[in-house]
């Protein structure tokens, strides 16, 4: 690793963007919300990948593919969140420690669970993220940032859809029970 370090921006500073014309204090609030969403999305991504890798059972292939696609969507949204935070003059959360500290959601333990338990844990995490996204959409609207609100609304649709699919997987007439 290089011994030379040139810090261009401190991680906890928001420098604002003259091009976007959002005042520094409003940008700071929005970047803070985006970083919270980013941390939660990374936690979701890792949990979905864990379940994608470990799913077994009669409906393995369908659930394996669904979890892979859901993880891919989470990773794509994380990238969009990070780029928006950077565009507003902030530094996106990026280290595992920072992500764990900033995330309002906790991942399950590292143990491997049956798929029903795993999906219940995913649905719970999705629910917490849905509530948070709704709050941050309102925040962005109230602070005069329709672009961030639009970005969050578009993702909310996908997050709700994924949660709804998980709800269907968890119905009594699915997932062969022992």
Residue 3 within a domain = no
Residue 6 within a domain = no
pLDDT of 11 strictly over 60: no
Residue 149 within a domain = yes
Distance from CA of residue 143 to its chain's centroid? 22
- The larger pLDDT score, comparing residue 23 to residue 62, is at 62
End-to-end alpha carbon distance in the chain: 51
Helical segments of the chain, H only: 24-54, 60-87, 96-102, 115-142, 146-169
Torsion of CA 64, 65, 68, 72, to 10 degrees: -170
What is the CATH classification number for the domain harbouring 95? Answer: 1.20.1260.10
Residue 160 within a domain = yes
Residue 124 within a domain = yes
Give me the pLDDT at residue 6, please. 67
- Residue 146 pLDDT grade (very low, low, confident, very high; cuts 50, 70, 90): very high
Give me the pLDDT at residue 147, please. 97
The whole domain housing 81 covers: 29-103+110-169
What residues are paired with 22 via a beta bridge? Answer: 17
Give 108's DSSP letter.
Answer: P
Number of separate domains in the chain: 1
Average confidence (pLDDT) over 65-91 = 96
pLDDT of 173 strictly over 70: no
Residue 164 within a domain = yes
Residue 11 within a domain = no
pLDDT of 177 strictly over 70: no
Residue 148 within a domain = yes
Q: Distance (Å, rounded) from C-alpha 100 to C-alpha 98?
A: 5
Give me the pLDDT at residue 68, please. 98
Contact 155, 80 (CB under 8 A): yes
Q: Distance (Å, rounded) from C-alpha 31 to C-alpha 46?
A: 22
Average confidence (pLDDT) over 21-36 = 90
Helix axes 24-54, 146-169, angle to 10 degrees: 20
Pair of tokens at residue 9: 């921006």
């Amino acid at each position: 690793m290089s011994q030379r370090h040139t810090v261009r921006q401190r991680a906890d500073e928001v420098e604002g963007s003259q091009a976007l014309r959002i005042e520094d204090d409003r940008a700071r609030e929005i970047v803070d919300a985006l970083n919270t969403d980013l941390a939660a999305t990374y936690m979701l991504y890792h949990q979905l990948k864990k379940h994608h890798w470990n799913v077994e059972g009669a409906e393995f292939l369908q659930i394996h593919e669904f979890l892979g696609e859901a993880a891919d969507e989470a990773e794509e949204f994380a990238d969009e969140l990070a780029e928006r935070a950077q565009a507003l003059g902030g530094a996106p959360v990026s280290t595992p420690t920072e992500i764990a500290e900033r995330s309002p959601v906790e991942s399950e333990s590292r143990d491997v669970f049956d798929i029903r338990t795993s999906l219940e844990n995913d649905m719970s995490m999705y629910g917490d993220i849905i509530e948070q996204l709704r709050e941050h959409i309102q925040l962005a609207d109230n602070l005069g940032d329709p672009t961030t609100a639009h970005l969050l609304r578009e993702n909310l649709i996908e997050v709700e859809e994924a949660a709804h699919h998980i709800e269907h997987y968890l119905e009594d007439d699915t997932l062969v029970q022992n």
